[in-house]
Amino acid sequence: MIDITTENFETEVIRASMSLPVLVDFWAEWCGPCKSLGPILEKLETAYAGRFVLAKINSDEQQELAGAFGIRSIPTCVLMMGGKPVDGFMGALPEGKLREFLDKHLGGEGQPQADTEELSEAQQALESGDIASAIARMEEALQADAANDELRYDYVKLLIGTGHLDEAAGALAPALGRIPVALQFEALQQWLNALEFVNNDPRGQWPLEQFDALISANKRDFEARFAKARVLMAANEWVAALDELLEIVMRDKKWDEEAPRKTFVAILELLTPPKPKAAGPETSGKTAGGIELAGPATVEQDEQAALVSAYRRKLGMALN
């Protein structure tokens, strides 16, 4: 549950709804029905296990937002998907009716449980080294829950990380067809581009020393730098790739329609530690996509987050 103001509305409602439905609850302190509806909505957000985000707007404190939605009475709930309102209701509906409303757009509450079982089996297969079974389980889960962007992201990331590039491109296509494309899927596309470059372009087989010779002769040989960065990405040499891309950005921010900057941002997105999910045993030092992390899981994430933060600052300085 997120409290919404004019300051975070664009990020937490409009942009967030591009990848996950957001149910906006307009309420007020003095509203009796709001006090009965609110706890039920919070309960359902937990029960639906990440299928939607509950965003609450205090109509008295955020009158500009209430006016923008034409709110005339409260409680009023508006379901946002793809950056636009798609449905809504007024009044404190009972839990059964709320489930019907949500199921109409989210595909039912029961399905995510089945998906959880599939993903649990996929995780077990990954831990045992059975990549084929893990991919199959995740594919089945995604077929049953095609609107689940988190699942699609994890599935495509696994496919790319294990070299199933054609399958990854097919599974990624629906997410790339949206406008705007969510950053997480743009990041996967950039990673896929790097691997396809290595497979299809002769420079993909060059030793790094061959790139270095060209760059030493001409610091502004951006073609060589960018190609080298992609080769490094394909080898999971993420920090070295970031450094090479940063050199291009510092010298020419607009080169090749800002491809280096976009790729830099994509790597940061890929390296950003995932938000914590349900508690469980300590994980291994490799993500599903094959990105190596060093040390115990809790230390990994702290170090990874610090790395990402440091390179975000470097990019910010380069762009200023």
Q: Catalogue the active-site residues.
A: 31, 34
The secondary structure of residue 5, as a DSSP letter, is -
CA proximity to 261, closest of 298, 215, 212, 225: 225
* Token pair recorded at residue 255: 């080169």
Other beta carbons within 10 angstroms of residue 232's beta carbon come to 23
Using left for φ > 0, alpha for ψ between -120 and 50, and beta otherwise, residue 141 falls in alpha
Nearest Cα neighbor of 39 from 6, 8, 75, 5 is 75
Looking from the CA of 316 toward its CB, the CA atoms found within 13 Å total 6
Amino acid identity for residue 169 in this structure: A
Instruction: Give yes or no for a contact between 102 and 43, defined as CB atoms under 8 angstroms apart.
Output: no
Question: Which H or E run includes 22?
Answer: strand 22-27
Distances in Å between the alpha carbon of 216 and those of 209, 219, 251? 10, 6, 15
DSSP, residue by residue, 88-118: EEES---HHHHHHHHHHHH--SHHHHHHHHH
Residue 79, helix vs strand vs coil: strand
Element (H, E) at 136: helix 131-144
Residue 25 phi, psi (nearest 5): -110, 110
User: What span, in angstroms and rounded, lies between the C-alpha atoms of 296 and 120?
Assistant: 21
Residue 95 has phi, psi (to 5 degrees) of: -60, -40
